[in-house]
Amino acid sequence: MTQQIGELNPPLRLMLTPGPSSMDPRVYRALATPLVGHLDPWFRGSMDETQILLRQIFQTESRITLPLSASGSGGIEAAVVNVLEEGDEAIVAVNGVFSERMYEIGSRASSKVTRVEAPYGKPVDPEDVRRAGKGRKIKMVGLAHGETSTGVLTKIDGFRKVADELGALLVVDTVASLAALPLHVDRERIDVCFSGSQKAISAPPGMSPITVSSAAEEVFRQRKTKVQSWYFDLTTAMNYWGKDRLYHHTPPISLIFALREAMRLVMEEGLEARWERHRVNQLALIAGLEAMGLKLLVEKTADRLPTVTAVMIPSGIDDGKLRNQLLDEFNIEIAGGFGALKGKIWRVGLMGYCSQMTNVLLFLAALEKCLIDQGFRVGSGAGVGAAVKSYTHAETAAAVSR
């Protein structure tokens, strides 16, 4: 008997996850525009505009700047396999699941990769990387600017200095940070920088923006062996995104339309205004959480990633039950921990379009109700009240600075 499948009708969620994030209605409209061919002259013009916007958001003039047809994990793979050849040595700063993934990919590239670790909830100390690389020929130093699995922010400057001392390329994962906090690829001299479309840019999943410095491009040209991945070989992928627009693969055209519109909205708002919006909203979220008696995984304020806040699950609270209640009663989705932090933290995302005061206040009120239902003692309205005070303080400070 043939089973009848009904029309697709997904629920409308508020995506307060570490990705994907909810999208602006204008991005949905771009996603629904007519399809054109990937070699169509009109589409080539759209590709030019997409690359212009990418360079503006990355703050770079690099020639190789393009959106890979892949998730953020594809960006990790492309960055690592283009840099490393068999026998090369690399150091990866590991403080979470995604920096661990960079290490794993490097190991599979038949390279000698050293992991320098920090406990989850803390950034790796660049001095530890310096000690690990002393007296060795290191080709790559890799790190996650924002570690999505823990909500940790790692400052780049110290690692650039160490990479210079070691004569290494600096590879930085900005999947959870691009378009949400200050990042200047050229000024900070990042050699390979990649991200994801579905996070703070607030486009659909499926694209991984990447940019490559001239120094890294020269390393690619001097490879003794071909990149082990045909698909992620940036020297051939750039033939399509370069001036000749030579066929490489059929890209996700509609996703490129949506990414272009989402990036246009980023630049319409302005990078500095967007960075400040993410900072202010996370401060309000944290003020509300702490007023409710909740603790954060990342203890130091300077180490907290503005886009992902890792909240310790209180003793006696059922993780799955609470997150399901948020979905069922409030249509709010947040994420749990995974790996070593499974069942220990909630990860609350305030990314791009989702980073709004109304979302922060709604989430805090909904979370308070769910906690009370499980017997957790919270002062009525404590979270929302503290967040409102935080916003008032930020408005006053902004008025004074003007």
Residues 6+ apart with CB under 8 A from 222: none
What domains are there in the chain, each with its CATH number?
Answer: 25-267 (3.40.640.10), 271-401 (3.90.1150.10)
Distances (CA, A) of 85 to 24, 60, 89, 204, 367: 41, 26, 9, 32, 48
pLDDT of residue 156: 98
Both tokens of residue 321? 């039950």
For the chain, the farthest-separated pair of C-alpha atoms sits apart, in whole angstroms, at: 71
pLDDT of residue 246: 78
The C-alpha atoms of residue 357 and residue 380 are separated, in whole angstroms, by 20
pLDDT of residue 211: 98
pLDDT of residue 150: 97
pLDDT of residue 402: 59
Nearest partner of 198 among 259, 260, 147, 151, judged by Cα: 259
Residue carrying structure tokens 């209640």: 325
Distances (CA, A) of 380 to 31, 323, 364, 373, 384: 42, 20, 11, 13, 9
**One-letter amino acid for residue 136 of the chain:** R
Whether the CB-CB separation of 296 and 282 falls below 8 Å is answered with: no
Query: Got the DSSP string for 207-269?
Result: -EEEEE-HHHHHHHHT-SS--S-STT-HHHHHHHHSTT--------HHHHHHHHHHHHHHHHH
The C-alpha atoms of residue 122 and residue 40 are separated, in whole angstroms, by 48
Residue carrying structure tokens 């100390």: 125
CA-based end-to-end distance of the chain: 70
pLDDT of residue 9: 94
Interval 257-267: pLDDT, tens? 999 999 999 99
Element (H or E) spanning 347, and its range? strand 345-349
Residues 6+ apart with CB under 8 A from 360: 281, 284, 285, 288, 350, 387
Residues 6+ apart with CB under 8 A from 152: 95, 96, 120, 121, 122, 123, 146, 298, 303, 304, 305
Q: Is 307 exposed, middle or buried (0-12, 13-18, 19+ CB in 10 A)?
A: buried
Nearest partner of 79 among 185, 198, 201, 199, judged by Cα: 185
Residue 143 phi/psi, 5-degree rounding, is -155, 165
> 395: how many CB neighbours lie within 10 A of its CB?
11
Residue carrying structure tokens 């409710």: 292
Residue segments in the chain with a per-residue pLDDT below the cut of 50 = none
**Alpha carbon 260 to chain centroid distance?**
17
**One-letter amino acid for residue 13 of the chain:** R
The C-alpha atoms of residue 311 and residue 18 are separated, in whole angstroms, by 13
The C-alpha atoms of residue 155 and residue 181 are separated, in whole angstroms, by 11
**One-letter amino acid for residue 308 of the chain:** V
294: which DSSP letter? -
